[in-house]
Structures are given as structure tokens and as C-alpha cells.
């Protein structure tokens, strides 16, 4: 992996995990010193992140972590909703016992993380929960399309975890999805998934009204 790619991955992770909050100024020299590279690969990495709409480069002013663009998030959520509802509808009727056990284990781990207020662990288990469904579908193309929309969605979803009892609600919504899958009911599974993802968008829109400083005008 090139130095620029390493810098890109480091900054991308920090931005998505909100370690670098929307609107934060990025000091190229500080990044270069921290990672032990010259400014050139840092500049190259920031150019790539700008193409992902994760940073904004303002000539003569500096480089900043991009504020979240709500239309981009809603568009990505729309794509994800369509694909994930179709995924559970497809796999429900013939869901194998091994996949169901994996989902139930994941739910148990989510409950443990929620009880311990381990938000980062909970988030990672949330991602894994949905990955298990795509794994059962066995369609790399669908998984790749969803993955490509994750960057903007991840930042938005992490903002919501501390709000509105989102971890508790997410766990309840995931349990409803698994209950429908356990009944091998395609329609109930799709409805549960659709409701789960739509609720997240509604809460994000409410949060954007509360904290407009984190979102692009």
C-alpha cells in the first residue's frame, strides 16, 4: 500500500468514526509528522478524500472535514433500504439454521454491548449484523453497492448512537428482523428491515434540525 493510501485510510477512519468532527480544520504538517511521511502523500490523500466528499479543500483557507450533506445521506439510505429489504425478502423463505444462529449470537453480543454502553463495539456489531445477511445472499455486487454508500451513512449513524436511545431502539428493530426471518416470512422480514432503516433517516433529519452546525447548508 502506498504512503498516500495509508494516510487516506487513517484520515478516512478518523472522519467516519467522528474522531475528526465535521468542520474540523486538518493540519497537513501535523498529519505528516504524526504518520512519519512528507506533505506530498498527505496532499494526495486529501485529494482522494475530497472526491469522496469527506473533506473540503478551500484554496488559501485550508482543508476541513466536510460537514455532512443530508441529501447525500438520504440518497444512500434509499439505496440501502431497497437492497436490504430485497435481501431479507429473498433469503427468508429458505434461511438456514447456521445463519439464524449467527444472527442470534450477534443479537446477544449487541445486547451485551448496549448494557455496557460500549458504543463503538455496538456499532461494529450493527455493521456485522447486516453483513451476515449479505453473506447469506451471496451476491458480491449487492454487497459492494451497499459498501460504496457507507462513508456518508456511517458518520450520520454514529452521530445518532448517543441520541434518542438509539442503541436500544436499534437492538429492538434488529430483533424484529430476526424474529420475522425465524418464521421464514419474506414480507414481514422486508417490512421489518424497511421500518428499521426508515426510522434511522427520520431521526437523522430531526438531529440535523437540532445541530445544523454539523451539516452542510
HSE-CB for 15 with a 13 A CA cutoff? 29
Give the domain range for residue 171: 70-214
SS (H, E, C) the chain: CCHHHHHHHHHHHHHHCCCCCCCCEECHHHHHHHHCCCHHHHHHHHHHHHHCCCEEEECCCEEEECCECHHHHHHHHHHHHHHHHHHHHHHHCCCCHHHHHHHHHHHHHHHHHHHCCCHHHHHHHHHHHHHHHHHHHCCHHHHHHHHHCHHHHHHHHHHHCCCCCHHHHHHHHHHHHHHHHHCCCHHHHHHHHHHHHHHHHHHHHHHHHHCHHHECC
149 and 189, same domain (yes or no) = yes
pLDDT in tens, 75-91: 888 888 998 999 999 99
193 and 141, same domain (yes or no) = yes
75 and 155, same domain (yes or no) = yes
13 and 115, same domain (yes or no) = no
pLDDT at 154: 82
Question: What CATH number does residue 143 fall under?
Answer: 1.20.120.530
Say how far apart CA 138 and CA 207 lie, in whole Å: 35
pLDDT in tens, 2-54: 999 999 999 999 998 889 999 999 999 999 999 999 999 999 999 999 988 89
In which band, very low, low, confident or very high, does the pLDDT at 164 lie, cut at 50, 70 and 90?
low
Say how far apart CA 29 and CA 190 lie, in whole Å: 49
Say how far apart CA 212 and CA 138 lie, in whole Å: 39
131 and 209, same domain (yes or no) = yes
* End-to-end Cα spacing for the chain: 36
In which band, very low, low, confident or very high, does the pLDDT at 148 lie, cut at 50, 70 and 90?
low
pLDDT in tens, 192-209: 999 999 998 888 888 888
17 and 89, same domain (yes or no) = no
208 and 130, same domain (yes or no) = yes
pLDDT in tens, 97-121: 999 999 999 999 999 999 998 988 9
Residue that terminates a domain, selected from 65, 80, 109: 65
Q: What percent of the chain has pLDDT over 70?
A: 98
183 and 164, same domain (yes or no) = yes
100 and 194, same domain (yes or no) = yes
Alpha-carbon torsion angle 164, 168, 169, 173, nearest 10: 170
78 and 59, same domain (yes or no) = no
Residue that terminates a domain, selected from 26, 42, 65: 65
90 and 193, same domain (yes or no) = yes
Count of domains forming the chain: 2
pLDDT at 110: 97
98 and 190, same domain (yes or no) = yes
Question: What CATH number does residue 52 fall under?
Answer: 1.10.10.10
Residue that terminates a domain, selected from 65, 82, 109: 65
In which band, very low, low, confident or very high, does the pLDDT at 163 lie, cut at 50, 70 and 90?
low
In which band, very low, low, confident or very high, does the pLDDT at 170 lie, cut at 50, 70 and 90?
very high
Determine how many CB atoms are found less than 10 A away from the CB of residue 40. 12
Amino acid at each position: 500500500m502506498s504512503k498516500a493510501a495509508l494516510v487516506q485510510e487513517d484520515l478516512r477512519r478518523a472522519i467516519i468514526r467522528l474522531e475528526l468532527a465535521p468542520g474540523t480544520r486538518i493540519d497537513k504538517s501535523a498529519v505528516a509528522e504524526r504518520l512519519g511521511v512528507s506533505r506530498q502523500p498527505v496532499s494526495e490523500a486529501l485529494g482522494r478524500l475530497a472526491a469522496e466528499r469527506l473533506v473540503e479543500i478551500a484554496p488559501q483557507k485550508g482543508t476541513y472535514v466536510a460537514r455532512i450533506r443530508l441529501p447525500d445521506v438520504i440518497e444512500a439510505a434509499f439505496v440501502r433500504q431497497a437492497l436490504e429489504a430485497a435481501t431479507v425478502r429473498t433469503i427468508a423463505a429458505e434461511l438456514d439454521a447456521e445463519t439464524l444462529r449467527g444472527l442470534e449470537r450477534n443479537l446477544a453480543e449487541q445486547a451485551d454491548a448496549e448494557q455496557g454502553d460500549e458504543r463503538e463495539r455496538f456499532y461494529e456489531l450493527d455493521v456485522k449484523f447486516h453483513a451476515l445477511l449479505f453473506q447469506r445472499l451471496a451476491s458480491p455486487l449487492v454487497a459492494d453497492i451497499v459498501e460504496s454508500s457507507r462513508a456518508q451513512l456511517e458518520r450520520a449513524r454514529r452521530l445518532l448512537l448517543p441520541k434518542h436511545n438509539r442503541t436500544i431502539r436499534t437492538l429492538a428493530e434488529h430483533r424484529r428482523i430476526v424474529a420475522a426471518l425465524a418464521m421464514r416470512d419474506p414480507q414481514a422480514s422486508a417490512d421489518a428491515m424497511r421500518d428499521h432503516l426508515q426510522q434511522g433517516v427520520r431521526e437523522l433529519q430531526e438531529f440535523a434540525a437540532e445541530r445544523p452546525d454539523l451539516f452542510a447548508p
